[in-house]
Amino acid sequence: MHLRPLASLLALPLLAACAPELHSTVSVSNIGRVATTGQPAEATAQLRIPQPGAAECAANLQTLVSRLETLAPIASEPRCVSVGFDTFAELRTPLAIVPFGAKPEHRLAAIVALPTNSGATDLAFRLLQPFGDIFHTVAADISPRPRLDPSIIAVTLCNDGDEPLTLLAGGEVVVNGKAAPPEIALAAGEIAEFRLTATAAGLIESGTGYTFASFRRQ
């Protein structure tokens, strides 16, 4: 789980619209406790699943939720939302924050926190269930079947401590909408959004996971 060298993002395809979206905000203090104690924690992820249209979304919503609940808890009342010309079923589900080697059950995804010998903490995103199983659950009986690949995955890190952090970005991410520099200074109270490219999302869907960031105290 070491970061790959930072590559030029100009040649990387960014993730397309009307794909599944998973957005979450994670506090550095929670990650630090997991890395230090080995005890898992949780954040909340917003999950958006593409639908053929508003009418189809409304008709399919409760069936979709009941199927997703076989894979992970639903933490909010589901709803249909329109973003531009696209329609999504939107809901919230727990996102596990776990130490390396942990395998929490009944969760869709996790952030794995791994302390390194240098004093930094690596952060990897991985699916906890096979992508094929998730695909079948959310796309069954929906016609026309929505495209579910590649996924849009974004994690916002919140520095909720009193000290600044130094962030290192993985080679397949965009930070705050821009190509990431080798190091990012994150002052106390600031946030940084890490959006994974299609390449990183593909690695996650293949089951290998992807180390998208590392942080250390300045």
Distance CA 205, CA 199 (A): 10
Residue range 72-81, pLDDT digits in tens: 999 888 999 9
Q: What are phi and psi of 61, to 5 degrees?
A: -60, -50
Per-residue model confidence (pLDDT) at position 44 = 96
Residue 94 has pLDDT above 90, yes or no: yes
Q: Tell me: pLDDT of 217 over 90.
A: no
- Top mean pLDDT of 15-24, 98-107, 178-187 is at 98-107
Query: How far is 97 from 31, CA to CA, in rounded Å?
Result: 7
What span, in angstroms and rounded, lies between the C-alpha atoms of 169 and 10? 15
Buried b (16+ CB within 10 A) or exposed e, 113-137: bbbeeeebbbbbbbbbbebeebbeb
Give CA angle at 123 (203, 92), nearest 5°: 80
Instruction: Tell me the C-alpha distance between 12 and 169, whole Å.
Output: 15
Encoded tokens for 85: 């010309």
Residues 6+ apart with CB under 8 A from 192: 156, 157, 167, 175, 176, 184, 186
Domain range annotation of the chain: 9-50+91-130+148-217
The pTM of the whole model exceeds 0.75: yes
Secondary structure of residue 199 in the 3-state scheme: helix
How many alpha carbons lie under 13 Å from residue 81 in its C-beta half-sphere? 13
Model pLDDT, residue 143 = 65
Q: What is the pLDDT averaged over residues 117-128?
A: 94
Helix crossing, 54-68 with 131-139: angle to 10°? 130
Give me the residue label for tokens 């919140």: 158
